[in-house]
Structure 1
Amino acid sequence: MIKMNVGIIGGSDGLGKTLIYYFRDDFNVYITGRDHKKGNAVANELNVNYIESNAGLANISDIVVISVPIQYTNDVIREVAPFMKEGSLMVDVTSVKEGPSRTMAEVLPDTIEYIPTHPIFGPRTTRLDNQVIVLTADKKGKWYDKVYRYLASKNMRIIETTAEKHDFMMSIVQVLTHFSFISTASAIEKLKVDISETEDYESPIYNLMIDLIARIVSQNPYLTYNIQSMNPNGPKIRNTFAEAVHELRDAINNHDEEGFIEIAVNATKNMGDIKNALGRSDKAIGALNYEYSILFDSIGSEVGLKHIYSGKVHVGILESVDGKTAVLRNGNKTQKLRIANIRILLPDELYQWKIDNLNTKTESISCVFAKNVHVETIENTVLNIENIIDIKLIDAYNGPQIDENSISLTFEVTAMTKEDIEKVKKLFTGFGGVIR
């Protein structure tokens, strides 16, 4: 089957670059970028194609994905519209939808379909499973069902709505939350508080909240600003938030207990299913505490720690764990790894990693056993030894050199190290065998 061409304008950075990982197995991927040197490097690294011209990319693509900063989206739509193939599809992935929708409707001919979209996840997302994507198509042409089925095949949560409804909902999900989080971080900075000093006093909820705030404020500030400034509902949202802050401040400063309680109760009632919220936050806190407990209990043992972003696995003896750092020793080398950026491999995962990455040892062991020895019992017992990968019987002999009541069995044993194979030999002698 001939693969379609998918062109990503802005594929050398951010979400555009992340989309390459999802598309490259299913499509021929072409990308453009503002920095040609960087774009070529990304294309070579990810084994896709780099084109210097947006118009050239549009001309060869069956699907054009526009993934550029919000403030440039409408300009890029106008730039490439005249060069798109008849019967092709234009998609954008910006977080504001009314503007791009109007521009696409204005400049694209009827022979080119467009689906304004918003993937509600960021460049750090490693899987599409259960991630939300919003589709705000004005009309559904021949491409729409294909796109919907493709996204559904990736187990994504698909929301179909209008551009106007999307932008209002994102004014709550993004504009309000980002504005309030950045305001909180700014207040902490103005108070000259050293966040690290608060850690001795922090509760699990405070710790989780600070992590969420840090995640938001660490995002590209230009992107965050454009999300704030370009959402048409932004002014109303920010003004309402400021009014709520002033109202709450005044109730407390004026010792208006009843006013404060009324505000708090009304706000709580509007939060929806509180039990579910408590359950989800309890899960998040429990997961953090459980992982730390597993690490703490593993001190002195061999562990595998996988970096959740790079995917690199570090294996060694866990020497110590504190609130933020795990210290791993491998021979004479020690490493300090941030606990927030790693997860501990399950025993089966660590075992498989060793098989895939270490130079395993294979040796044939001949041993004389009693003639009635049970071979399957020997094999099953050997496989229970740590770091033994495989054992199989390759020869059985009871010729002149072997006592008539005995049999010589030769097993091929594969293990992680030479020392592990020596353990098998000791086991054989423990079964009453004599190594030949």
Structure 2
Amino acid sequence: MVKMNVGIIGGSDGLGKTLVYYFRDEFNVFITGYNPEKGKRAADELGVNYIESNAGLANISDILVISVPIQYTSEVIREVAPFMKSGSLMVDVTSIKEEPSKTMAEVLPETVEYIPTHPVFGPRTTSLDNQVIVLTADKKGEWYPKVYNYLAGKNMRIIETSAKNHDFMMSIVQVLTHFSFISTASAIEKLSVDISETEDYESPIYNLMIDMIARIVSQNPYLTYNIQSRNNYGPKVRNALADSVIELRDVINNGDEEEFIDIAIKATKHMGDIKNALGRSDKAISALSYEYTYLNNSIGQEVGLKHIYSGKIHVGILESIDGKTAVLKDGNKTKKLRIANIRILLPSELYQWKIDNWNTKTESISCVFPKNVHVETIEDTVMNIDNIIDIKLTDAYNGPQIDDDSISLTFEVTGLDKEDIENVRKLFTGFGGIIR
């Protein structure tokens, strides 16, 4: 089966680079980048193809993805539209939809389909599973059901709406929340507050809030500004927030308790399903507490820690928890891993990782047992020993060297290391056996 060509303009950075990871195993992926040297390095790193020209990329692509900063999206669409193949598809992935939708409708020929999209996740996302993607197609052609089914097959949450409605929703989801978070961070900076000192007094909710604010503030400020400035509903929601802040400030400064309570109750009622909100936030708090407690109880024991971004697994003896860092001893090496960036492997996951990555040991053990010994009981008991992978009977012998009331059994035992196999020998003697 011939793979389709997927071109990503802007595939050397940000979300475009993340999309390469998802597409490269199923399609022939080609990318361009604003900086040719950086683009070539990214293509080599990702194992895909680099093309110098956006127009050249458009000319060979069955699906062309526009993944450039918002302020350049319409310009790039106009640049490549004349070079798109007949029967191909153009997709953009910006968080503003009205402007690129209008541009595609104006400049693309009838023979080229377009689907403006908004993947509502960032470059740090490690899986498409359960992630939201919004489709704002003006009309649905032959490509649309193929794209929809592909996304559904990745277990994504697909929202179909108009570009106008999308931008209004994102004025709440992005513009309002980002504006309020950045305003809070700015106020903290103006107050010259030492965030690290506040952590001594922090509650779990404060901890989560500060983490979310830091996540938003640390994003590319040029991207954040364009999300604010290019959404047509931005002025309305920013003014609404400013009005609410001033109103609430004046109510409190004037000592009007009754008015404050009225505002708070109305706002709470409008938040929808409070029970669900409390449940989700309780889960987040419990997860943070459980993780720290689990690590604290595992000091001195072997643990497996998976880095949530690189996917690398670190295995060793947990020496200590140093502030927000887990200190892991692996042989003669000491590793420090930020707790926020790791996931603790379940015992079954750690066991499977060892099987897949360690050089296992296999030995044959011959042992004389009473003739009435139950072989299946021996095998079942051995398999309950930590780090034993397999045991199978390879020989049963009761020749002249063996007493009439005894039998010599030979088992092939596979374990993670020699010490584990030695534990099997000890078990055999516990069953009344004599190692030959």
TM-score (norm 1): 0.98
* Helix, strand or coil at the partner of 2:78: helix
Question: What is the rounded CA distance, in whole Å, between the counterparts of 1:308 and 1:26 in structure 2?
Answer: 23
Question: What is the rounded CA distance, in whole Å, between the counterparts of 2:405 and 2:331 in structure 1?
Answer: 47
* Helix, strand or coil at the partner of 1:412: strand
Partner of 1:3: 3
Displacement of 1:352: 0.8
Question: What is the rounded CA distance, in whole Å, between the counterparts of 2:192 and 2:285 in structure 1?
Answer: 28
Counterpart AA for 1:410? T
Question: What is the rounded CA distance, in whole Å, between the counterparts of 2:368 and 2:40 in structure 1?
Answer: 63
Question: What is the rounded CA distance, in whole Å, between the counterparts of 2:326 and 2:210 in structure 1?
Answer: 21
Partner of 1:427: 427
Displacement of 1:28: 1.3
* Helix, strand or coil at the partner of 1:30: strand
Partner of 2:209: 209
Partner of 1:25: 25
Mean Cα deviation higher: 384-393 or 173-182: 384-393
Question: What is the rounded CA distance, in whole Å, between the counterparts of 2:367 and 2:34 in structure 1?
Answer: 68
* Helix, strand or coil at the partner of 1:17: helix
Displacement of 1:347: 0.5
Partner of 1:263: 263
Question: What is the rounded CA distance, in whole Å, between the counterparts of 1:172 and 1:76 in structure 2?
Answer: 27
Displacement of 1:333: 2.4
Partner of 1:354: 354
Counterpart AA for 2:37? K
Counterpart AA for 2:218? S
1:162-241 superposed matches below 5 A: 162-241=162-241
Query: What do residues 236-265 of structure 1 show as CA deviations (whole Å, max 9, x unaligned)?
Result: 111221111111111111222222222212
Displacement of 1:127: 1.1
Question: What is the rounded CA distance, in whole Å, between the counterparts of 2:190 and 2:256 in structure 1?
Answer: 27
Displacement of 1:406: 1.7
Partner of 2:383: 383
Question: What is the rounded CA distance, in whole Å, between the counterparts of 2:32 and 2:383 in structure 1?
Answer: 53
1:153-168 superposed matches below 5 A: 153-168=153-168
* Helix, strand or coil at the partner of 1:266: helix
Partner of 1:332: 332
Mean Cα deviation higher: 87-96 or 283-292: 283-292
TM-score (norm 2): 0.98
Question: What is the rounded CA distance, in whole Å, between the counterparts of 2:55 and 2:320 in structure 1?
Answer: 56
Displacement of 1:323: 4.5
Counterpart AA for 1:138? D
Displacement of 1:357: 1.4
Assess, with a 3 A threshold, how the Cα gap between structure 1 residues 364 and 49 changes in structure 2: closer, same or farther: same
1:123-138 superposed matches below 5 A: 123-138=123-138
Partner of 1:273: 273
Query: What do residues 99-149 of structure 1 show as CA deviations (whole Å, max 9, x unaligned)?
Result: 100110110011101000000001111111111111111111111111111
* Helix, strand or coil at the partner of 2:316: strand
Counterpart AA for 1:278? L
Displacement of 1:334: 2.1
1:371-410 superposed matches below 5 A: 371-410=371-410
Question: What is the rounded CA distance, in whole Å, between the counterparts of 2:90 and 2:226 in structure 1?
Answer: 22
Counterpart AA for 1:415? G
Counterpart AA for 2:324? K
Question: What is the rounded CA distance, in whole Å, between the counterparts of 1:61 and 1:267 in structure 2?
Answer: 49
Counterpart AA for 1:409? L
Structure 1 residue ranges without an equivalent (≥5): none
Displacement of 1:40: 2.1
Mean Cα deviation higher: 418-427 or 164-173: 418-427
Query: What do residues 309-367 of structure 1 show as CA deviations (whole Å, max 9, x unaligned)?
Result: 11111111112225512221223322222111111110010001111111221111111
Identity, % of aligned positions: 83
Question: What is the rounded CA distance, in whole Å, between the counterparts of 1:429 and 1:435 in structure 2?
Answer: 7
Query: What do residues 217-239 of structure 1 show as CA deviations (whole Å, max 9, x unaligned)?
Result: 11111111111111111111112
Mean Cα deviation higher: 84-93 or 277-286: 277-286
